[in-house]
Amino acid sequence: MSDMREKLADVVKHILNECDSEYIEAELADAIIAALPGMVKPLVWVRHPIGWSCEGFMIDTRNGFYVMRGLYGKPRFDTLEDAQAACNAHHVARTMQAFDAVIDGGKP
């Protein structure tokens, strides 16, 4: 069984064991949608002459701070890890939008 299939099977099992609702189909669908963001593979970064690059994102490290290219406004971050985490969060949100999924209280 694939890793994704196994994770979804665990979600289904949990809902079926815990749910007393007559609306089990909707609760099951909500639980599956909530589990999907954690299944999106993280970005893989490679060195670039000005810093780091990955799937349309660029982190410029030349000036002692990190500027992320690929997001509106080119935000700055204090650390490379913070910049990479922001890129990954954006990547997950874009992937979920492709499914037209709404998570976290209405935010894709």
pLDDT tens sequence across 10-43: 877 777 777 666 667 777 777 778 888 888 888 9
Gap between the Cα atoms of 21 and 13, Å rounded: 15
Calculate what percentage of the chain has a pLDDT beyond 70. Answer: 86
Q: Is 47 helix (H, G, I), strand (E, B) or coil?
A: strand
**pTM attached to this predicted model:** 0.68
Contact 39, 5 (CB under 8 A): no
**Which tops the pLDDT comparison, 79 or 99?**
79
Mean pLDDT value across the chain: 80
> Which pLDDT band, with edges at 50, 70 and 90, does 104 fall under?
low
Q: Is 27 helix (H, G, I), strand (E, B) or coil?
A: helix
Find the mean pLDDT for residues 86-91: 90
Contact 77, 66 (CB under 8 A): yes
Gap between the Cα atoms of 85 and 52, Å rounded: 13
| Residue whose structure tokens are 């660029």 | 58
